[in-house]
Amino acid sequence: MNTDDALTAARKVAGLLHGDAAERDRAGRRPVREVRALRESGLLGLAPDDHVTTHAVVRIVAAADASIGHLLGYHYLHLWRIGLFDRPEQARRIWRDTAERNWFWAAATNPQDTIRATPSPDGLVVNGSRAFATGAAVADRLVVNATRDDGGDRLTIVMDARLPGIGHPDDWDNMGQRLSASGSVTFDGVRVPHEQVVGALPAGRDDPRMVRLSLSALAYQSVLTQVLVAIAEGALAEAARYTREHARPWPLGGAESAGRDPYILAGYGELVASVRAAGLLADQAASALRAASDLGPALTAEVRGETGVTISSAKVVATRVVLETTTRIFDFIGARGTAGRFGFDRFWRDARTLTLHDPVVYKAREVGAHFLTGELPPPTAYS
């Protein structure tokens, strides 16, 4: 599927999701039907290393439903980071199988938790749990980080998401991203063969492989930035539709319709300008990620650091813009627009939930430190 076809497919999926987005948000069910729509669209088989195309697709889908865009963005991310290890043939085979079988990928890689892998004669036995395993409950395949309990090596493993011993507690009840299936996942004696190990993470930052492998943390931030911009775009589009079709003009304004009120026009203008600027920064971040990824083993710590600053800059702006946008639209739709059936609150709830994924103030500090002193952000699980 080329880029044009991918964007067309994404718009079709977005059209399906948009129609009942508020209703599905209220129901808060696991997104089984929504993932099926992604599977049937062919979007799951896009080349995951084409960050410009995949990020554009994610933004289109997320503008209609932030949860499903989030799931799709992580799907591409998990597939792509398999290729960061020194096993290109394995990565290509997994990407090919995914495209042919329309697998949906999720992961159990939260750095705050620990999953243990115990060697066995025929492979590994995996035990433990992960919180915030976005999409795992509806996935076909999983990427799992586990620590060997006989030496401490941190392994990245791929596995069938329906293996015996994998559980999904129904514990996702957050106020936003309600259809992202971001609850926990448990592993109780899950057996995987040795060939399912993608690779081992370096023990220290000085290992030269760490520069390339640490790109995955930046990719998470880039994907989330696109979703934040998409939420703002979706909120603006939905609010504008309501303003044109339902909002009433304020009597003291003298305008014949709400869409002619100069204050409403100026308010939309300010938000549109801000959202477009955030979108350009998000696209710049995606391009920087792709350029860094394309360098392969030649990627340097300096380029990796500069890429991190670019992505952090975009995340800082997108966070501010999406929170402002999803709050201020209520000034333009009026009191009647707060009725539950319209679901305008979902945009703010989704934005507020995602902007707390990790404290954005640390991203601002990284950007400021680089600007003032030239300091590059150190590779971490979040930067």
Please provide the DSSP assignment of 14-75 as one string: HHHHHHTHHHHHHH----HHHHHHHHHHTGGGS-TT-HHHHHHHHHHHHHH-HHHHHHHHHH
Q: What percent of the chain has pLDDT over 90?
A: 83
pLDDT-above-70 percentage for the chain: 99
Q: Which fold has domain 105-201?
A: Butyryl-CoA Dehydrogenase, subunit A; domain 2 (2.40.110)
pLDDT in the model for residue 138: 97
Homologous superfamily in CATH for domain 209-373:
Butyryl-CoA Dehydrogenase, subunit A, domain 3 (1.20.140.10)
Question: For residues 241 and 247, what is the distance between their CA atoms, to the nearest angstrom?
Answer: 9
Q: What is the pLDDT of residue 251?
A: 73
Query: What residues does 125 pair with on adjacent strands?
Result: 118, 191
pLDDT at 269: 97
Task: Give start and end residues of each alpha helix (H) in the chain.
Answer: 3-19, 21-27, 32-41, 51-64, 66-82, 88-101, 209-213, 215-245, 262-294, 301-333, 345-355, 360-373
Chain centroid, CA 27 distance in Å:
22
- pLDDT of 128 > 80? The answer is yes
Predicted confidence (pLDDT) per residue in 139-181, tens digit: 999 999 999 988 778 899 999 999 999 999 999 999 999 999 9
Q: How confident is the model at residue 318 (pLDDT cuts 50, 70, 90)?
A: very high
**pLDDT per position as a tens digit, 54-93:** 999 999 999 999 999 999 999 999 999 999 998 889 999 9
> Is 10 a residue whose pLDDT tops 70?
yes
Distances (CA, A) of 132 to 44, 171, 357: 21, 10, 10
Angstrom distance (rounded) from CA 310 to CA 44: 27
Whether residue 49 is predicted with pLDDT greater than 90 in this model: the reply is yes
Sorting pLDDT into bands at 50, 70 and 90, what band is 204?
Answer: low
377: DSSP letter: P
**Position 365 pLDDT exceeds 80:** yes
Give domain 3-101's CATH number out of 2.60.40.10, 1.10.10.10, 3.40.50.20, 1.10.540.10: 1.10.540.10
Cα–Cα dist 281/55, whole Å = 12
In this model, does residue 3 exceed pLDDT 70?
yes
* Same fold yes or no, 105-201 and 209-373: no
Residue 361 clears pLDDT 70, i.e. is over it: yes
pTM of the model: 0.95
Asked whether the predicted pLDDT for residue 110 surpasses 90, the reply is no
Spatial CA neighbour of 358 closest among 326, 306, 321, 316: 316
Question: Which phi and psi angles does 371 have, rounded to 5°?
Answer: -65, -45
Residue ranges of the domains in the chain?
A: 3-101, 105-201, 209-373
Half-sphere exposure of 322 (CA within 13 A, CB side): 36
Give tens-digit pLDDT for 258-291. 778 888 899 999 999 999 999 999 999 999 999 9
